[in-house]
Amino acid sequence: MSSELDYSSIQLAEAEPDASSMIESFRAVGYSIETAIADIIDNSISANANNIWVDYSWKGPSTILSILDDGIGMNNEELIQAMRPGSKNPLDFRNEDDLGRFGLGLKTASFSQTRKFTVASKKEGESVCFWSWDLDFVNKSHSWNLIKYCPNENAYTEKIENLVSGTCVVWWDLDRIAKDTKEDSEDSKKKFLETMESVKSHISMVFHRFIEDGLNIFFQGRKINSWDPFMIGFKGLQAKPGVKLQDGKAIIKGFILPHRSKLSPEEYNYGKGPEDSWTAHQGFYVYRSKRLIVAGDWLGLFKKEVHYDLCRIQIDLSNDIDNDWQIDIKKSVARPPLKYKDQIVSVAKEARAQAIEVYKNKGMILRRKLSNDEYFPFWEEKVRHGKRFYVINRKHPLLTDLFSKSNGLNSDIKRVLQFIEETIPVPLITYQENENIKPYGQPFEGKSDAVRDTMKEMYQNLIKNGKTDERAKSIILNIEPFHFYPQYLEHLGDE
């Protein structure tokens, strides 16, 4: 529509959002406690905090969790404004180091975990102010009113009083994780503490670049160490040059992490990260203004497969292109713009290929070491009466194995093999190859699981028959087509 409507002549009806239903929908945004706490920490970082303290004490349903920072703080008016849902327009300009976006995080993250929370704050030279949202009161009064109440108020205002300036977010009705628990139940307490451990490792990952730059985040008084997915500084790391997209507002950089043989057991475990798994941590790492949003995900472009374990790709975004990347409210999802998909795929393919290469090289070294071993091709060329024929190698381990298992069927199997050999359309294959009508598919293209599973089975049999790990692997590497897949060797011994 091009012309502006004349609203003065149009009938109106009031349709204010219903307070309680709006808030209940905020609660359903889909935060986990890890992502919710990270969103509160974002605000502290944007407020220039140098120190952030995450504290909690287990008290069953009355458990309280607080996030305190020594950032610039807010005065009473600013605090009330900050407590308003949608306090900033997502389209407004943001400083390049501002981690906020929709003007919702403080509220949605808090409501996702609590029915009641307080924010207390102080600007330099001013006194402490505080306000709380209480969902039960909003439901009852059907109005968007903050209340000036916080249990154990002094404990939290005092924490800020001792700082030049700062803010404390207090979650005091943690109904998502503490409801229906009992303070003296060991089981509930254990679960809660496990959840807190997971929060801690999430923080160490999401904010690792800030921690490396000197930000202190304390968890129950103890400083959190950063977890760097790229293992910068570890021996054997390969970094590809960064590639600029979107006028340099996005930079993508592939890393090939060190092979296990280059790492100490501790270093190898470090690489497993918060998910405790190399495979879970392969993929893209998308950062928005250095804050990690996506941690190890192929963004729907590829699948996670063990032989890409060493491949991690950094994507750095500035905070003014998040609309293009569809950053969501929780700041946990990003989708590459269609326009740059091809470029991203090509950078990723290169890094992925290089990551497989590490395993392949390991396999090749092993093969060279044992190069005198007998090699088992699957097909062989034979000459009869001066003519070429192609036959299946009866000594190939897959066949000797089959013959040994197939009591009484051996002559049938041999007959089928003979029919395959005699009817294989050699002229047709040759003709197609010369005319190059369509590119031919690579062996096991898109069906590599069959190769991997067969290799694994064969490996297990060899081990069962007393072969050493190295011996078993070298035998397998001398069997067609397994010698094309040295990348699978690495994980043959895994459960």
Ligand X SMILES: Nc1ncnc2c1ncn2[C@@H]1O[C@H](COP(=O)(O)OP(=O)(O)O)[C@@H](O)[C@H]1O
For ligand X, which stretch binds (CB under 6 A), given 21-29, 94-102, 315-323, 344-352?
Answer: 94-102
Q: CA 477, CA 365: separation in Å to the nearest integer? A: 11
> Site for ligand X (CB under 6 A): which residue of 34, 69, 70, 316?
69
> Site for ligand X (CB under 6 A): which residue of 32, 35, 44, 63?
44
Query: Which spans in 439-478 are helix H?
Result: 448-464, 469-477
For ligand X, which stretch binds (CB under 6 A), given 103-111, 236-244, 253-261, 330-338?
Answer: 103-111
For residue 77, the minimal CB distance to Mg ion (Å) is 18
Q: Given 3-state DSSP classes, what are the helix, strand and coil percentages for the chain, each rounded to the nearest 5?
A: 40, 20, 40
Is residue 293 within a helix (H) or strand (E), and if so which, with residue range? strand 291-297
For residue 208, the minimal CB distance to ligand X (Å) is 20
Beta strands in 116-260 (DSSP E): 116-122, 129-134, 166-171, 216-219, 222-223, 238-239, 243-245, 250-256
| Binding to Mg ion, residues 85-104 (CB under 5 A) | 100
Q: Return the number of the residue (318 or 454) whose C-beta is nearest ligand X.
A: 318
Size, binding site for ligand X by CB under 6 A: 20
The Cβ-side half-sphere exposure at 245, using a 13 Å CA radius, reads 24
Q: CA 296, CA 305: separation in Å to the nearest integer? A: 13
For residue 83, the minimal CB distance to ligand X (Å) is 8
For residue 69, the minimal CB distance to ligand X (Å) is 5
DSSP 362-374: HHHHHHHHTTTSP
Report which of 167, 188, 158, 214 is spatially closest to residue 61, judged by C-alpha positions: 188
> Site for ligand X (CB under 6 A): which residue of 26, 102, 111, 117?
102
Q: Which two tokens stand for residue 309?
A: 């374990």
Q: Return the number of the residue (148 or 382) whose C-beta is nearest ligand X.
A: 148
Residues in the chain: 495
Q: Which among ligand X, Mg ion, none contacts residue 69 (Cβ within 5 to 8 A by kind)?
A: ligand X
Please, what is the angle between helix 397-405 and helix 410-423, to 10°? 140
For ligand X, which stretch binds (CB under 6 A), given 42-50, 287-295, 319-327, 411-419?
Answer: 42-50
Q: Which two tokens stand for residue 94?
A: 């943001």
> Site for ligand X (CB under 6 A): which residue of 20, 26, 37, 101?
101
Q: Establish if 132 lies at the interface with ligand X (CB under 6 A).
A: no
Q: Which among Mg ion, ligand X, none contacts residue 118 (Cβ within 5 to 8 A by kind)?
A: none
Q: Which among Mg ion, ligand X, none contacts residue 107 (Cβ within 5 to 8 A by kind)?
A: ligand X
> Site for ligand X (CB under 6 A): which residue of 82, 311, 358, 479?
82
Q: Establish if 331 lies at the interface with ligand X (CB under 6 A).
A: no
For residue 82, the minimal CB distance to ligand X (Å) is 3
Q: Return the number of the residue (43 or 66) whose C-beta is nearest Mg ion.
A: 43
Is residue 391 within a helix (H) or strand (E), and if so which, with residue range? strand 387-392
Q: Establish if 105 lies at the interface with Mg ion (CB under 5 A).
A: yes
> Residue 140 phi/psi, 5° resolution?
-75, -45
Give the SS3 label for residue 88.
coil
Q: Which two tokens stand for residue 482?
A: 């397994």
Cβ distance 470 to 366 under 8 Å? Answer: yes
Q: Which among ligand X, Mg ion, none contacts residue 336 (Cβ within 5 to 8 A by kind)?
A: none
Q: Establish if 296 lies at the interface with Mg ion (CB under 5 A).
A: no
Q: Establish if 215 lies at the interface with ligand X (CB under 6 A).
A: no
Is residue 402 within a helix (H) or strand (E), and if so which, with residue range? helix 397-405
Q: Establish if 107 lies at the interface with ligand X (CB under 6 A).
A: yes
Q: Return the number of the residue (119 or 455) whose C-beta is nearest Mg ion.
A: 119
For residue 116, the minimal CB distance to ligand X (Å) is 17
Q: Which among ligand X, Mg ion, none contacts residue 309 (Cβ within 5 to 8 A by kind)?
A: none
The Cβ of residue 203 has, within 10 Å, a number of other Cβ atoms equal to 23
For residue 26, the minimal CB distance to ligand X (Å) is 11
| Binding to ligand X, residues 359-388 (CB under 6 A) | none
| Structure-token match 């949003």, residue found | 293
| Bond prior to 229 in cis (omega within 30° of 0) | no
Give the SS3 label for residue 311.
strand
Give 326's contacts (C-beta < 8 A, 6+ positions apart): 333, 334, 335
Q: Return the number of the residue (42 or 490) whose C-beta is nearest Mg ion.
A: 42
Q: Which two tokens stand for residue 62?
A: 């009355």
> Site for ligand X (CB under 6 A): which residue of 37, 104, 215, 310?
104
Q: Which among Mg ion, ligand X, none contacts residue 44 (Cβ within 5 to 8 A by kind)?
A: ligand X
For residue 128, the minimal CB distance to ligand X (Å) is 13
| Binding to Mg ion, residues 15-44 (CB under 5 A) | 42-43
Q: CA 132, CA 118: separation in Å to the nearest integer? A: 4
- Contact positions toward ligand X, by CB under 6 A? 43-44, 47, 69, 71-74, 82, 87-88, 100-107, 167
- Contact positions toward Mg ion, by CB under 5 A? 42-43, 100, 105
